[in-house]
Structure 1
Amino acid sequence: MSSLPPPAIVGSLIQSIRARPILWDQYQRTNIINEQELKLIKAVDKLPKEKRIPIVEGDLVGYAKLIVGDPNGTSGEKGLLERCAKRVEFIQYLLALAVELCEDVPAYITTLNSHSDPYSHLMTLLDHTDAPIPIISSNLLTTLISSSLSKSKTDKPTQQALPTLFKYLATISSSSESNLQDLAVQSYVLLLRNSYSRSTFWEMGDEMVRGLTNVVETAAAGSKGSRTTDVGLSGGVASSSVAASSSGPSATTALLSSSAANTNLKQGGVNLQLLYYVLVGIWELSFEEEIAEELDEKYDLIPPLVHLLRSALKEKILRVCLAIITNLITKAPSTNLPSLLLARTLPLLTTLKTRKFTDPDLTADLDTCLSALESFQLTQTNFDEYATEIRSGHLSWTPPHRNQDFWKKNARRIMEENNGELVQCLARVLRESDEKLVLAVAAHDVGVLVKEVPEKRRVWDGVMVKARVMELMGDSDPEVRYESLKAVQEFLRYAFGG
C-alpha cells in the first residue's frame, strides 16, 4: 500500500512550516520534550527522503509515539503532539512531519493505525483556531482512515471518526478557495473506497451529496451547446475494470495521480481537475445499489451527467461520466433506464460508438450502455415514454406531444391512470418550473387533454392548472403565451356547457 502526495495546499503549508527553525534544545531543557523525542526528531529533521526512510523504518514505534503516544494504548502515555497542545508551532511541525512520513514510509501508516484509537486527538485539531492545523490534520486523518477502510472489517474508532471528518470536509468543500475545494474532494475520493464509508457518506444526506452534485450541475449548465472535443487524450481515466478496486488504495492512487495535468482548464466554468475528482467520487458512490437507485431521483443527476458526456473537454471526463452511467444501469436498471432514455442518451452513445477509443474499458462500458438502452427502448410504448417524461419534469417537444394519434389513444388513460398521477405531475411542472420550453410543452398538453377528454376538465380546476395557464398568457416568452392561449381557448370552449 502507498500513500498519495498531499494536495497542493497541504504541500505548500508543510513546506512553509518545515522552513521555520525550532529551538529544540531549548524546549528539551525546559522539559517540554524529552531526550528520546529530541533524538528522534533531530535524526530526520533536515534529511532528504532517501536518507530519512531507513531511519524511520528502523524505529516505527518510536516515531508513532510522537503523534499518537503509546501505540498499544495500554500505558496511557500521551504523544508529544497531545502534550504540546498549546504550542502552535509544535503542533504544526509534528503534523507536517507525520504527513511526510506517511508519504515516505507506508509502514508508518500501519504503525499509527495499530494504536487502539489513533484518531481521537487528531479529531480535536479539526476545530483548532490556527488555520493551517485543521487543514493538515484533515489530510493526515484522511490518510489514516482511508488505510483503515481498506481492511476487510471497519473497526470502531474508524466508524466513530468518519462522520466527523466528512462534516469537516463538507465545510471546506463549500469554501470559495479552490485549494480547499480540491483538498475536500480529493479526500472524498480516498475515503469512499469501501461500502461502509459510501453508506455513511450517503446517510449523512444533502449536507454531503449536494456539494458534489452541485459541481456537476454547474459544469453542465456552463457546457450546454458544446460538443465533445479532444477525446483522444490518454491518461487520467476511471476504469470500470477496477470496480472492485474502489475499495482498494492502488486504483484510487492511479486515478488521482494521473489527473494532475491541465489543472487550469475549465469545463463550464468549473476547474477541470476539481470536476474530475467530483465525478470520481460520484462514481465510487454509484457502486452501492441503494445509492444508484436514488442518485437521479433525489438529485436529478442524469440530465447534467449526459450534458457533460456530450461536451467533455477531455477523455478522462467523458470516461468517468460513462463509468457512472454504466453503474447506474447495472446497479439499478429499472430506476435509471427510463431517465437515461428520456435524456437522449441513446443517440449520443450511438454517435460516440463511431469514434475510435484506445481504452478497452471505455469501449466495454459504451457497449454495455448501448445494449441496455437499446433493449429497454424496444420494450417501451409511446405511453411509457410520455409518462416517464412527465414524471421527470424535463419536458421537450418529443414525438408524442405533436402526434394526434397518440392523444386519441392515450388522453383518457393519462387523465385516469394511477388516480390522475400524470395530471398532478403536469400541474407541478406548471407550478414550479421556470424553463420556458417546459412551460410551453406542459401548457400544450393541458390544452390537448381538455380537448380530448372535456368531461374531465374540472379536474384541472382542482389542481389550479386553469388559473396557471391563464396567468401564462402574459408570459414574456412567445411560445409559452401561444400554447397557454390555446389551452385557455379549450377551457372556454366548454365554459357554458356545464
Structure 2
Amino acid sequence: MTMDQSDLTTEQVLRRDIPWETYMNTKLITGTGLQLLRRYDKKPENYKAQLLDDDGPSYIRVLVSILRDIFKEETVEYVLALIDEMLTANSKRARLFHDTSLANEDTYEPFLRLLWKGNWFIQEKSCKILSLIVSGRPKAQDALIANGASKSKEFTTIDNVLKGLVEWLCAQLKKPSHPSRGIPTAINCLATLLKEPVVRSSFVQSDGVKLLVPLISPASTQQSIQLLYEACLSVWLLSYYEPAIEYLGTSRSLPRLIEVVKGSTKEKVVRVVVLTLRNLLQKGTYGALMIDLGLPQLVQSLKAQAWSDEDLLEALTQLEEGLKDNIKKLSSFDKYKQEVLLGHLDWSPMHKDPIFWRENITNFEENDFQILRVLITILDTSTDPRTLAVACFDISQFIQYHPAGRIIVTDLKAKERVMKLLNHENAEVTKNALLCIQRLFLGAKYASFLQA
C-alpha cells in the first residue's frame, strides 16, 4: 500500500485500472456484467449520465454484485468510488437502487457489511452511500415490507439498515475511525437520517444524545461551523421526538444552545437553534429554564439584528411571545426551584420574604425534599460566595418555617457542611453559616433574638 488508506480520495481511487476480464474468467462477473462495466468505466460524465438514464438499474445490479462477491480491497474501493461519484453528481439516482427490476437483489447488505469491515475510505463511502440510498427509497415500499409482501426473510430490512447505521454512527462519535473525519462524517449522515422515526428512537436508545451534546459549542473555522450546524440540525430534528426531549433536558444541551446563539453570526446556525428553542419552549420545565438562562433578553437583542431569513424572524417573534407567557405562569416557588437547580443563588426578594416561606414550605417536601437536598449539596460544590451565603440562609429559613425543620436538616447531615463554612474567608458566608448553625442548635426563636 503506497499511501495511507485513511486519506485516499475518490479521484485517486478512480485513476486505478481494475482487471475486469480476470474477474470474468474466474466467474466472479458475468459476460453481460463485463460488457456493462466496459461501456461505463472510465467514460466522460455526460456519457455515463446517458447510460444511467437509459438503463440505470442494470448498472446498479452489476456494481452491487461485485461488492457482494469480490473482496479485494482495491476493487471494493473502486466500486464504492464509482457509486459515490454517480450519487454525488445527482443524488436522485439513489432511486435506481429501488427499481422494481432489482426486487430480488439485496441492495443494502454489502454496504451495511462494509461499514464495519473496511478501512476508513470503505467505511466512509459505505455510510454516505447507504444514507443516500435509504433516504431515496419510495416510502410506499416500507408499507409493502411491513405487510410481508415483497421481500423474503433473508433480505436486509430497512429497519436493520437504519439500526445498523445508527450503531456505526454512535461508534464513530465515541471512538472515531479517522481522527479528523470520523465525527464530521457521522454527524453529516445523522443530520440526513434523523428525519426517520426509527432512527430517532434507535439513536435515543443507543444513548446517542449525550454523544451529540458536546459538539454544540461556538465554532470558529469554516469546517467547525459546518459541523456545529449539522449537530444543531440533528438536535432540532430530535426536538420533535418526545423521548429525545427528555434526554435533552437532562443533558446540558439548553445552556449550550444558548451559548451558540450568543456567539454565532452564521444565519443558518442561529435559525436552526432558534427553531429548536421554539420547539422545546412548551415542554416540561424548559420554559422556566430558558427564562433563568436569560433567553428573553437574548431574543430581544437578536430581533434587533438585520436577518434576511423570514423563517428566523417569525421564529424569534414566536419565541418571544412564548417566553412572555411562561414568565406570567411561573409561580414564585417555580422560580425559586429553577434558581436552586441551576446552582446560582442570589438575594432575590423571595429569600427574605416571610410570606414566600409560609406559603411554600410544604412544597419543599416534593420528591423527598429534593430542593433542600440540592441546597445542602451546593454547600459542598459551589465556589461562589454569594451562592454559599444564600444557601446557608435558605437552610436556616427552612429550619425556622418547617415544623420538623431541625430534625430533617440534621438527618440530611447538613450540620457538618455548614460548620466547615464558619471559617470561610468571605464575611457574608460566615455570617449566614453562623445564623444557620444557631437555628439548628438553639431553635428559631432564640436565633432570631440573637440575630436582632
| Alignment TM-score, normalising by the size of structure 2 | 0.82
- Match for residue 412 of structure 2 among 463, 466, 489: 463
* Contact map agreement 1:396 1:441 (CA 8 A) in 2: yes
Equivalent residue for 1:137?
Answer: 126
- Match for residue 278 of structure 2 among 312, 315, 326: 326
Counterpart CA distance in 2 for 1:318 and 1:363 is 11
User: Cα–Cα, structure 1 residues 387 and 201, in superposed 2: closer, same or farther, change >3 Å?
Assistant: same
* Contact map agreement 1:24 1:38 (CA 8 A) in 2: yes
Query: Highest CA radius of gyration, 1 or 2?
Result: 2
* Contact map agreement 2:94 2:137 (CA 8 A) in 1: no
Equivalent residue for 2:111?
Answer: 122
Between stretches 419-428 and 183-192, larger displacement belongs to 419-428
Give 1:435 deviation, angstroms: 7.1
User: Cα–Cα, structure 1 residues 28 and 424, in superposed 2: closer, same or farther, change >3 Å?
Assistant: same
Give identity over the alignment, percent.
Answer: 23
Counterpart CA distance in 2 for 1:371 and 1:463 is 42
1:36 is aligned to 2:25: no
Counterpart CA distance in 1 for 2:388 and 2:8 is 51
Equivalent residue for 2:212?
Answer: 212
Equivalent residue for 1:180?
Answer: 182
Equivalent residue for 2:85?
Answer: 100
1:346 is aligned to 2:296: yes
Equivalent residue for 2:374?
Answer: 425
Equivalent residue for 1:316?
Answer: 268
Counterpart CA distance in 1 for 2:56 and 2:40 is 13
SS in 1 for 2:441: coil
- Write out per-residue CA displacement over residues 400-438 of structure 1, whole angstroms, 9 at most, x where no aligned residue: 465445655456345445653421332344456677775
5+ long unaligned stretches in structure 2: 147-156, 445-452
If asked which structure has higher relative contact order (CA below 8 Å, sep 6+), I would say 1
Equivalent position amino acid for 2:438 in 1:
L
| Alignment TM-score, normalising by the size of structure 1 | 0.75
Equivalent residue for 2:257?
Answer: 305
SS in 1 for 2:18: coil
User: Cα–Cα, structure 1 residues 195 and 144, in superposed 2: closer, same or farther, change >3 Å?
Assistant: same
| Count of residues in correspondence between the two structures | 423
Counterpart CA distance in 1 for 2:89 and 2:443 is 84
**Which residues in structure 2 correspond to 1:10-89 (within 5 Å)?**
13-68=9-64, 79-85=65-71, 87-89=72-74
Counterpart CA distance in 1 for 2:198 and 2:311 is 26
Counterpart CA distance in 1 for 2:139 and 2:413 is 55
Give 1:462 deviation, angstroms: 1.6
**Which residues in structure 2 correspond to 1:229-244 (within 5 Å)?**
none
Cα RMSD after superposing both structures: 3.2
1:445 is aligned to 2:404: no
User: Cα–Cα, structure 1 residues 107 and 404, in superposed 2: closer, same or farther, change >3 Å?
Assistant: closer
User: Cα–Cα, structure 1 residues 433 and 198, in superposed 2: closer, same or farther, change >3 Å?
Assistant: farther
Equivalent residue for 1:276?
Answer: 229
SS in 2 for 1:347: helix
Give 1:164 deviation, angstroms: 1.3
5+ long unaligned stretches in structure 1: 1-8, 69-78, 224-261, 265-270
SS in 1 for 2:222: coil
User: Cα–Cα, structure 1 residues 367 and 446, in superposed 2: closer, same or farther, change >3 Å?
Assistant: same
**Which residues in structure 2 correspond to 1:146-295 (within 5 Å)?**
146-148=135-137, 153=142, 155=145, 157-174=157-174, 175=176, 177-204=179-206, 206=207, 208-216=208-216, 219=217, 263-264=222-223, 271-292=224-245, 294-295=246-247
- Write out per-residue CA displacement over residues 343-387 of structure 1, whole angstroms, 9 at most, x where no aligned residue: 221122122223332211111111111111101211223222112
* Contact map agreement 2:166 2:203 (CA 8 A) in 1: yes
Equivalent position amino acid for 1:263 in 2:
Q
SS in 2 for 1:47: coil
- Write out per-residue CA displacement over residues 128-152 of structure 1, whole angstroms, 9 at most, x where no aligned residue: 1433222211111111122238558
User: Cα–Cα, structure 1 residues 395 and 449, in superposed 2: closer, same or farther, change >3 Å?
Assistant: same
Equivalent residue for 2:450?
Answer: none
Equivalent position amino acid for 1:469 in 2:
V
Give 1:445 deviation, angstroms: 2.6
* Contact map agreement 1:279 1:320 (CA 8 A) in 2: yes
Equivalent residue for 1:76?
Answer: none
- Write out per-residue CA displacement over residues 232-291 of structure 1, whole angstroms, 9 at most, x where no aligned residue: xxxxxxxxxxxxxxxxxxxxxxxxxxxxxx625xxxxxx221111100011111122443
User: Cα–Cα, structure 1 residues 191 and 437, in superposed 2: closer, same or farther, change >3 Å?
Assistant: farther
Between stretches 271-280 and 481-490, larger displacement belongs to 481-490
Counterpart CA distance in 1 for 2:60 and 2:298 is 53
User: Cα–Cα, structure 1 residues 410 and 483, in superposed 2: closer, same or farther, change >3 Å?
Assistant: farther
